[in-house]
Amino acid sequence: RPRAWLHLLPALALGAGALAAGAALAQDAKGCKDPAMFPQRIPNFSIASCRVAADTDTFRWPGGQQQAMGQRTEVVYKVPKPADGATPKYIVGNYANALKGIGGELLQDPAKGSLGDRLTGRVLVDGRTVWVHVTSDSGVAGGNWSSYKVVVLQEDAAAQVVTARKMLDELNQAG
């Protein structure tokens, strides 16, 4: 059930604001697509890389952190040159507004930070927590980000496949 939030797509599209703008300038990396939770992206950005896997991640925000396990999607967006990019506050603010639009909680709210260059949030979808983190691994050039990264992790209790009890039983049987 990695796509449990698909019924929220209409609300996300309405709440996405400026995310709803046009096509990317460059071709997306082969096999990559926007995360289902955020079907639109910031204008002028194309997908440089992506990764989808059962994984863990530690989400950090001022005053807290939480490790989560489940289906993790990471998408890195880039523009050909910094002048085609957008400011960190514009990029992160758009994702924050989209997340708030579906009832999400902002644990690291870009509107409350001096730089406004990070978002960490979560939202409950079909009884499971979905974590969102938006940031950039590149610096600011000319006031703009030339790349940014979106991580969406849908928690899944079934991702925990090894139990300590089972391992202990097997060790006891083996002698």
The string of pLDDT tens digits covering residues 91-100 is 999 999 999 9
Residues in the chain, total: 175
Is the confidence at residue 5, as pLDDT, over 60? no
pLDDT in tens, 57-112: 999 999 999 999 999 999 999 998 889 999 999 999 999 999 999 999 999 998 88
Q: Which of 15-19, 57-61, 114-118, 154-158 has the highest mean pLDDT?
A: 57-61
Q: How many CB atoms lie within 10 A of CB 157?
A: 8
Distance from chain centroid for Cα 138: 17
Task: Output the six-digit token pair for 19.
Answer: 């995310």
How many whole angstroms separate alpha carbon 98 and alpha carbon 13? Answer: 8
Is the confidence at residue 17, as pLDDT, over 50? no
> Can you give the pTM of this predicted structure?
0.77
Report whether 76 contacts 58 (CB < 8 A): no
